[in-house]
Amino acid sequence: MTELEEAPRPGSLDALMAASHHRPLATDLRTLPAADLCTLRAVSQQRFGSFYSELDQLRAYDVIVRSPHVTPAETRPGRPGPRPPRGPGGVLPVEAGVTSAPLAALAH
């Protein structure tokens, strides 16, 4: 796992998501209100590891998910790591802590 030491570059998608809050965040870009679309259109870069790339988020993604803290799974010697619980059809359930927030409110 890579720990990113630097704060996200201002004007990047990463900075917008980091300004949201410290909990997981899921936002469906297909259903954004007009104010949120304007906010997202103003963002033109995304961080990939230690570099940034120009990216049109509305063309690239349907949903943006932010998980601010990820830790490696603990394993026992000789056993595979834990698997997340799966729902019907093998689909991962949405966790109760995942929230959605208006993007326009996050940019200010």
pTM over 0.75? The answer is: no
**What secondary structure does DSSP assign to 32-100, as a single string?**
--HHHHHHHHT--EEEETTEEEE--HHHH-SEEEE-S---PPP--TTSPPPPPP--GGGPPPPPTT-B-
Q: Which token pair is 55?
A: 């990216």
Residues 12 and 43 sit within 8 Å (Cβ to Cβ): yes
DSSP letter at 9? P
Q: What is the per-residue pLDDT for 108?
A: 46
Mean pLDDT over each residue of the chain, to the nearest integer: 75
> Given this model, what pLDDT does residue 98 score?
47
Which two tokens mark 67? 């998980």
Q: What whole-number distance in Å separates Cα of residue 108 and Cα of residue 15?
A: 12
Predicted confidence (pLDDT) at residue 9 exceeds the cutoff of 80: yes
Q: How far apart are CA 96 and CA 108, in angstroms?
A: 26
* 90 band by pLDDT with thresholds 50, 70 and 90: low
The domain spans of the chain are 1-70+96-108
